Amino acid sequence: MFKHLLVPLDGSTLAEAALPAAAYLAQKLDARVTLVHVIEQDAPQEIHGQRHLVDPDEARAYLDDVAGRAFPPGLRVKQHVHTAAVSDIARSIVAHEDELAPDLIVMCTHGQSGLRTWLFGSVAQQVIGLGTTPVLLIQPERAEPSSGFTCHAMLVPLDGDPGHEHGLVVAAGLAQACGANLHLVMVVPTLGTLPGEDSAAARLLPGATSALLDLAQSDAEAHLRQQVAQLQASGLPVTAAVQRGDAATTIIRTAEQIGANLVVLGTHGRSGMEAFWSESVAPQVIGRSHVPLLLVPVHRSAA
């Protein structure tokens, strides 16, 4: 399980929304934590309405303060300031995967607003797209630093592709450590929610397409029964269901219905326009849900 958590911070209160989750997981997993601040080249004077940290000594003092106030005594918390100014924060964070060897990055989903974010994703989404380390994304809208974090119910969407189900392995280990209930969901489209070329085919052959979707539902139910049996045999409390509809919408609705504290998704990490055109589920969930998301990269060779 995760033994080294990396938490990028920019000095803003918004970014600190990731700290309760990092502290919670560090305690549950007996993991060490590294707080990271990257000096940005030609940085603006303010970030998210607060003064931007551009002086290395000031940044070190800030990380020391965070370590003392955000983490209980006894946890292993270190600080790292990347003093060489960089223009690409996301790439610098990813570069620290090799330098510091974390096995989980915990960060807040914030970035520049407007068209640029829509096209290219926030810093967090770029980190997912560029790196190979799982990333836990905390949504700042409902995650104030003082609000705490817990994990007693986890939602794991599956699609039946064995290459994507490494996320389930990670979720099972985390559920074991946190004492959480797992709920598995597979989403089969309806005629009205089929994407792209499939939608055009459905209009031409609605009867045949409907039959294929019903068959897909039967296959999904059989797959979930197998997964549930394996997880229950290991002692984990687990439930499962097949839902019909749009994948992202159904995942978000199901997370709300079961009171999920965490959604675990296997993802290829595509961000920006590539994700938009490929209709990748993860970016849609990121943009529309307030539930924390653990994104587990799927190596393209594995998929």
Q: Residue ranges of the domains in the chain?
A: 4-142, 153-264+271-284
Locate the DSSP E strands across 114-244. Answer: 135-138, 153-158, 181-188, 238-244
pLDDT in tens, 161-188: 777 788 899 999 999 999 999 999 999 9
Distant-in-sequence contacts of 196-202, Cβ < 8 A, 24+ apart: 196/279
Whether pLDDT at 68 is above 60:
yes
Fold identical between 4-142 and 153-264+271-284? yes
Question: CATH number for the 4-142 domain, one of 3.90.1150.10, 3.40.50.620, 3.40.50.11890, 3.40.50.150?
Answer: 3.40.50.620
**Percent of all residues in the chain with a pLDDT value above 90, rounded to a whole number:** 51
**25: Cβ–Cβ under 8 A, 6 or more apart, which residues?**
2, 5, 31, 104, 106, 136, 151
Predicted TM-score of the model (pTM): 0.87
pLDDT in tens, 28-45: 999 999 999 988 876 666
**Percent of all residues in the chain with a pLDDT value above 70, rounded to a whole number:** 84
If you average pLDDT over residues 52-60, what whole number do you get? 86
Rounded to whole angstroms, the Cα distance separating 149 from 294 reads 14
Beta strands 4-8 and 32-40: pairing type? parallel
**126: Cβ–Cβ under 8 A, 6 or more apart, which residues?**
90, 91, 120, 271
If you average pLDDT over residues 110-131, what whole number do you get? 58
Mean confidence (pLDDT) of the chain? 84
Instruction: Write down the pLDDT at residue 250.
Output: 95
Domain 153-264+271-284, second-level architecture: 3-Layer(aba) Sandwich (3.40)
Q: For the sheet containing 293-297, what is the strand order?
A: 77-86, 32-40, 4-8, 104-108, 135-138, 293-297, 262-267, 153-158, 181-188, 238-244
| SS3 of residue 268 by DSSP | coil
Instruction: Write down the pLDDT at residue 33.
Output: 98
Burial class (CB in 10 A: 0-12, 13-18, 19+), 58: middle
Rounded to whole angstroms, the Cα distance separating 28 from 32 reads 11
Instruction: Write down the pLDDT at residue 88.
Output: 81
Q: Which of 129-133, 190-194, 254-258 has the highest mean pLDDT?
A: 254-258
Of 90, 120, 119, 117, whose CA–CA distance to 105 is shortest? 90
